[in-house]
Amino acid sequence: MAQNPPSCNASAIADNFFQNLRQTHCPRSAWVKLMRDADSRPAKTVVVVGCNKGYDAAAMTSPAMAAERQTADFPAIAHAGREDVGIDYNTRAPDRRAKRPADAPVAVVSVRLRTVDSLVESERLALGGSVIDILTTDAEGHDALVLEGARDVLTRVRYLEFEYHAIGHWASASLRDVIGSLESSGMDCYWAGHERLWRLTGCWDDRYQHFRAWSNIACVRRGDVWHSVLSGFAFG
């Protein structure tokens, strides 16, 4: 990761961030309205990767997982919004909360595995290197794997949002490595709060390495008109 620029007081930014932790649970992204005003083109390409309440669904969206397993078996009883049913439903221990019987496995449905890069290519969303205006992912702890499977797309994304905490793959994945990879893709990232942002790119504080509470991160392409919008909300 790039060294902190002279104008960045990483410690002071981290101090203020930790004093306002609850703001980043469900941030009020006031900058989005100003992004719209700064670029009023009616046509935008938006890609939403939503496995919210799917937990392990997105674990299969990295290139390695997609190559290793062409499909994943999901319980047929899994309805939209239900968070207690995953691909390990038939093999895990009985779970009272999930109403999982001890000896009654349920039928499964095979679901094709896709990376974001392959999805965008097949759906012809970014022909000729065209941009993806917005990419958001809420993958219940597997966002780092989703981003790994979006390496080509991320070179053309203008604005990115993803969730971070200690669940799923985030329990072992390095946020610093993810931020560094996004920096290499030309993006600057921030903790997202209530009408406030705390800079991460170039302003890393080692306390973040051990912080894994529920939070959200917003990234924007350097040089884009939207970059100046987000900069206006950045603390410090």
How many separate helices (H) and strands (E) can be counted in the chain?
8, 8
Instruction: Tell me which residue range forms the domain holding 142.
Output: 10-63+114-231
Q: Give the integer Cα–Cα distance in Å for 213 and 217.
A: 12
What is the rounded end-to-end Cα distance, in angstroms, of the chain? 20
pLDDT at 3: 43
**Do residue 171 and residue 226 come from a single domain?**
yes
Please count the structural domains in the chain.
2
In a domain, 186, yes or no: yes
pLDDT at 55: 41
Name the amino acid, one letter, at 54.
G
Q: Are residue 173 and residue 131 in the same domain, yes or no?
A: yes
Checking 206-213 for CB contacts under 8 A at 24+ apart, the result is: 207/14, 207/18, 208/14, 208/175, 208/176, 209/174, 209/175, 209/176, 211/18, 212/164, 212/165, 212/166, 212/170, 212/171, 213/21, 213/165, 213/166
| Same domain, yes or no: 187 and 144 | yes
pLDDT at residue 53, rounded to an integer:
44
How far apart are alpha carbons 156 and 147 in whole angstroms? Answer: 13
Residues 35 and 53 in one domain: yes
Q: pLDDT at position 6, please? A: 46
Please identify, among 54, 86, 112, the residue that sits at the C-terminal boundary of a domain: 112
Q: What is the mean pLDDT of each run of 10 residues along the chain (236 residues)?
A: 61 94 85 91 81 43 58 67 58 53 69 80 66 85 85 92 86 93 96 95 94 93 96 91
Model pLDDT, residue 100: 53
Written as six digits, the tokens of 227 are 């970059």
Q: Do 133 and 39 reside in the same domain of the chain?
A: yes
2 occurs within a structural domain: no
E strand or H helix that includes residue 31: helix 31-38
| Residue 4 forms part of a structural domain | no
**44 and 143 share a domain?**
yes
**Is 151 within the bounds of a domain?**
yes
DSSP state letter for 212: -
If asked whether residues 95 and 208 sit together in one domain, one would say: no
Q: Are residues 176 and 217 in the same domain?
A: yes
How many residues are given for the chain?
236
The reply to whether 144 and 211 lie within a common domain is yes
Same domain, 102 and 152: no
For residue 104, the model assigns a pLDDT of 64
**What pTM value is reported for the model?**
0.77
The tokens for 137 are: 């992912």
Q: Are residues 217 and 191 in the same domain?
A: yes
